[in-house]
Amino acid sequence: KNEVEQSPQNLTAQEGEFITINCSYSVGISALHWLQQHPGGGIVSLFMLSSGKKKHGRLIATINIQEKHSSLHITASHPRDSAVYICAVLRGAQKLVFGQGTRLTINP
């Protein structure tokens, strides 16, 4: 079993829908990252958080340290949001452990 589990693995939705991707982890962490991998393969860091909630545009990330759980929300989803979203937890100083990714497809 992976130390970091994401759900769902695949998600297809219609444009405009509210999207939630979940990440659960089983180890102690110092921070958690949400990453976006574009269809072309490039990876972009969306958020790094260690408590509470962060918002950037239509993206919202939350983390509950006690429950070892984080969620990534996308409001008013758009086809350009189609990508793989990856949760990664920071163990210790510099070691990132990755979830398996959630493939999101937003249909027009």
Residues near other proteins (CB under 8 A) are: 30-31, 33, 35, 37, 41-45, 47-48, 84, 86, 88, 90, 93-98, 100-101
How many Å separate Cα 7 from the centre of its chain? 10
What is the Cα–Cα distance from 78 to 7, expressed in whole angstroms? 20
Instruction: Kindly list the distances between the CA atom of residue 27 and the CA atoms of 38, 78, 106, in Å, as whole numbers in the listed order.
Output: 28, 33, 32
In the complex with other proteins, the residue whose CB is nearer, 13 or 97, is 97
CB of 16 to other proteins, least distance (A): 27
In the complex with other proteins, the residue whose CB is nearer, 77 or 102, is 102
CB of 47 to other proteins, least distance (A): 8
In the complex with other proteins, the residue whose CB is nearer, 13 or 90, is 90
Q: Which of 84, 81, 70, 69 is nearest to 17 (CA)?
A: 81
How does strand 102-107 pair with strand 10-14?
A: parallel
In the complex with other proteins, the residue whose CB is nearer, 34 or 106, is 34
**How many CB atoms are closer than 10 A to CB 70?**
26
CB of 44 to other proteins, least distance (A): 7
CB of 18 to other proteins, least distance (A): 25
